[in-house]
Every structure is written in C-alpha cells, then in structure tokens.
Chain A
Amino acid sequence: MTPPLRRAHRFIWLLLVVALPLGFLATRPTKQSPWLQEPVLPPQSTAMPVLLRTIDADSLVLNLRQSVRGTERQLEILLKQPFETPSAVVCIRQEGSRRAVGLLNAPGLYRFPLPTGTNRPLVEIVDDVHGRTVKTVQL
C-alpha cells in the first residue's frame, strides 16, 4: 500500500473509531418503547350481582351470573388471550340448538345476556368464518 493510502487509512480509522461508537450510542436514546395505555373497549352491561359459577379455561375465565331475583342470567367472559381466528362467536348450546349471544374480539371483559331458563349452559366459541368450534366449556 502506498504511503498516502496508508495515511488515508490511518485518518479514516481515527475518524471512524470515534464517529462509529458515537453514532451508535446516539441512536440508543431515540429507541421508542411502545406507548402504553389501557385500551378502550366498548362499554358492557352492568354485572349481575349473583355469581353462580366460575370456570377458568386457559385463555378465558367464564362467570355465570344472575340477577337478585334469579329471573335473568348473564355470561361474563374475561378474555385473557384472544383466539387467533377470523371470528370468535360466543354460542350457547341448549337442548340441541345453538344460539349466538355475542362476539369476542380484543382481550378484555365481555358480558352477554343469556336466554331465559339457561341453567348449565354449554358455552361454545365458534369461528363462524371457518365454521368450526374452537373451544367448548361446560359452565
């Protein structure tokens, strides 16, 4: 290597040995952590006061609630981990028929009114788009 090129090498690396670590460090504080906030969910109906049963089923917690008089029942679902499906419809299977009561989307708390006379509902989470049941819980 010619002496001028060698001198150029030396100059370049004296410059880079300072500039590169500085440039690298300068980008560190600009690293953006995700801005955290509690996501806003659509408002849900008020929880009925009497908790009849609770079942923790991995990604969701199901509560069967009823009114003070015991005439109305409510299904409360705490969705901890959403289903990776295009659709998650909450269905109640009773006496051989299936009835959709609501949809699960983002993680959070959901409450759905249950048909009158629902006692021990078989709750099914159905992917309506693919037409398959993704979870079944006997409450």
Chain B
Amino acid sequence: MKTDHTGEPPDFYIGWQEKAPPTYARPVRWVVLLLVVLVPAMACLLVWQQRGFSDAVFEYGQLTMLEGQLIREPVPFLRVPVKNSPPDAPLFERILLIGYGKHGAEATIRQWEARYGSLHNKKIGVRGTLIYHEGHAALELTEEASACRTVAPLPPSLAIPTTQSLGEVTLQGEITDPKCFLGVMKPGDGRPHRACAVRCIAGGIPPLLWVRNGKGRENGYVLVGPNGERINDQILKAVGQNVRVRGRLGQADNWLILYVDAPTELTRLRADVLAQIALCQ
C-alpha cells in the first residue's frame, strides 16, 4: 500500500460516501473475487466429501393398507401371510409397527382396542406409511387411532406364531431406533442422530441393534429383555453407541429378536478399545 512519509495512506475510506477510493476498492474487489471462487468450492467440497446416505425408504405421504395378524409380544408386529405360499407350509412376513412421531405403537393399539375390543386372535387391516431398509420393513401408524381400518376373526390358516430359538450369541453393533434408521431420517444413525434415537426409544419404539461387517453385510436385531420384556429405558445411555450384547437369539418369521441377558450390563465399546482390537485384527 502506498503511504506518505509518515506512513499514512493518501486515500481515506468513508462508508457513507458514494464510492470507495481505488486504494480501498481494489483489495476489496480481490476479496470478493476470492469469495466468488471459495464459496462454490466449499459447497462442492463439503457435499462431495460426505460419507453418503443409505437407500432406506420412507414412503412419506403414501399410505399403504396391509392385512394380517396383530402380534403384541415381544414387540408389536403385523404378521402378514405371504401370497402364493404353499398351504402345507405357509410363509409369513412381519412388519414392525411403530407409532406416529417418536412413539411406539402400544398407545395406538390401546386406542384401537378401546374402539374394537380385544384384537387378540383377530385379523386386522392397518393403513400406514411404509419404512424399509435392508430387508427390514416397518409401518408407521400415521393415522394413529384411525389406522386400524378393518377387524375380522382370524382365519385358521393364520397359524399361531412361534419364535424359533437360535441359541446364545454375542453381537456387536450400534443401538438404533428402527423408525429413523430404516428410512425416516438420513442419516438415522451415528452421533448427530443420537439424541433423536434416544427420544424415539424413550418413546417406546423397540431398539434395534444394527450389526455390520464393513463389507456390505448388515443385519438388525430387535432388543428385548430375557423374558421378552421391554428394556427401552434401561438402555437409553447406550443408544447411538457401539455396544456388545449377549443374549438368546430368536427368529420370529423374517425378524430376529435378541433376548438380552442383562440389559444393564451392555458393554459400551470405547474408541481406544476399538482401535486396539482393529489393530490386532
């Protein structure tokens, strides 16, 4: 910058004047030019460098009608008969039922029962919004009390469901809330989403342990207590974190249920432990 013998610049900038003197206008023009380059570059870089988002689907605004048997335990499902399955070995697929907002389905089911009486051993028609990802499907009861559209006696073809025991397992993964993780939010896991997952699970949505092998294989396991009781409140501190869980694995049609041995003893995996194990591997 040009200055006189005392080190003062010859020009002086006053904001309320019509024009800035060239001494001041020129560097500011360069700053604006720099920003014109920097701003789009930052936008591109920040978008490009994201880790990506899952292909999970939430059919927002699109209601789907499903018919099947209402399962209450250990968590609410709609058990839907698979079309064209052989009568001697009928197939069923389960759709996890989830309430509106960050709530489980129980309160809504109670509303249905208040209107229609006990839904035990009934075939119901439910309308809601589908959520699905990686072979797991859930139905948000968007219309809440009005979501239950039909109630009919259960036909004999809908056999009494059983849960097949698959033995003791130890699983490691992140505790997620299936509503967000299976499609409502993206990302529906990890640190930024943790508070939301806590809210959803505190609101009664069954916790889902999501296990990954890092090479594209993933699976989810609904977490319940040793006797199928809900453990949402006990695991809130571990939600959104990497944990190691031991328990009895059960298969309920196309869903896997993990009956956790001692939910209060979920091992939260610390980053340094993770790093050590990763190094050993």
Contact = CB atoms under 8 A, between A and B. Distances in A.
Contacts of B278: 33
Contacts of B219: 39-41, 105-108
B82 A100 contact: yes
Given A32-B241, A33-B274, A84-B132, A40 B84 contact: no
A107 B216 contact: yes
Size category of the A interface is 35 or more
Nearest to B139: A86
A48 interface: no
Given A40-B256, A84-B55, A103-B91, A32 B242 contact: yes
B234 interface: no
Contact of A107 (B57, B85, B217, B249): B217
A78 B241 CA distance: 30
Contacts of A36: 172, 212-214
A88 B220 CA distance: 16
Nearest to B249: A40
A116 interface: no
Interface in A88-127: 88-89, 91, 98-100, 102-108, 126
Interface centre among A39, A80, A82, A128 (most CB of B within 10 A): A39
A43 B169 CA distance: 13
Interface in A51-71: none
A24 interface: no
B271 A32 contact: yes
Contacts of B136: 105-106
A42 B212 contact: no
Contact of A39 (B55, B82, B84, B211): B211
Nearest to B215: A36
B272 A84 contact: no
A126 B83 CA distance: 10
B229 interface: no
B173 interface: yes
Contact of A129 (B137, B220, B275): B137
A99 B84 contact: yes
A57 B229 CA distance: 42
B183 to A, nearest CB: 9
A81 interface: yes
Contacts of A107: 134-135, 216-219
B196 interface: no
Contact of A100 (B66, B91, B169, B254): B91
A87 interface: yes
B251 interface: yes
Given A32-B274, A107-B134, A40 B242 contact: no
7 contacts: A31-B271, A35-B269, A36-B172, A100-B86, A105-B254, A107-B135, A128-B80
Given A29-B275, A107-B217, 4 more contacts: A30-B271, A33-B278, A105-B134, A129-B80
